[in-house]
Amino acid sequence: MVRLIAILALTAPALLLGSCMHGRQALADGMDWSLHQTPEEGVKLAYGAPASDNVVLMLTCQPGAGQVMLSTVATQPQPAIVLKSGGDRSRLNATAMPGGPADAHYLEATTSASDKALARFAKTGDLTLVQGKSAIALPAKGAAKSQVDRFFTACRA
């Protein structure tokens, strides 16, 4: 429960972003990927505002485990976390837990590090998070792309 509260506190600001997503594509201005690693929590790759708790999507793994846990916040309970990268699309069964501000729902799903959309993301840096009829582009370019590379290398090693 403490973990859930901590993650909700980190991701709740993304609700404002998510609730403002209209149409088919939204871009999170000023956001980027960041990589963190601790022996206790493993490797984390988060897309959000730099030096803040405003996180849209977090990927977590234990080094060498080959499994990735994804977490995000949605304004409505969703049965899945949907990712697109290039022509690949993954619909990952998610656990939805109510909580947080504005009746938010914390979503969590686990998949293989070689999942088709994640594999394409690792290769190209192109990733889109889809929630209902809205989508948010989470691109990794430049230094952020090297952090994505390091995350997937650690997860698969």
Residues 80, 78, 129, 31, Cα dihedral to 10°? -130
Please list the alpha-helical segments (H only) found in 65-111. none
Q: How far apart are CA 16 and CA 38, in angstroms?
A: 29
**In 3-state terms, what secondary structure has residue 121?**
helix
| CB 136 within 8 Å of CB 128 | yes
Q: Where are the domains of the chain?
A: 2-156
Sheet containing 26-27, strands listed edge to edge, beginning at the edge strand earlier in sequence: 26-27, 134-137, 128-131, 80-85, 88-93
Q: Checking DSSP bridges between strand 26-27 and strand 134-137, what pairing results, if any? A: parallel
pTM for this structure? Answer: 0.81
Residue 23, pLDDT > 60, answer no
Residue 21's pLDDT band, with cuts at 50, 70 and 90, is very low
What b/e sequence results for 47-85 when a residue is b if at least 16 CB atoms lie within 10 Å of its CB, and e otherwise?
A: bbbeeeebbbbbbbbeeebeebbbbbbbbeebeebbbbb
The model's pLDDT over 87-126, given as tens digits with 9 standing for 90+, comes to 999 999 999 887 656 777 889 999 999 999 999 999 999 9
* Residue linked to tokens 């997860």: 155
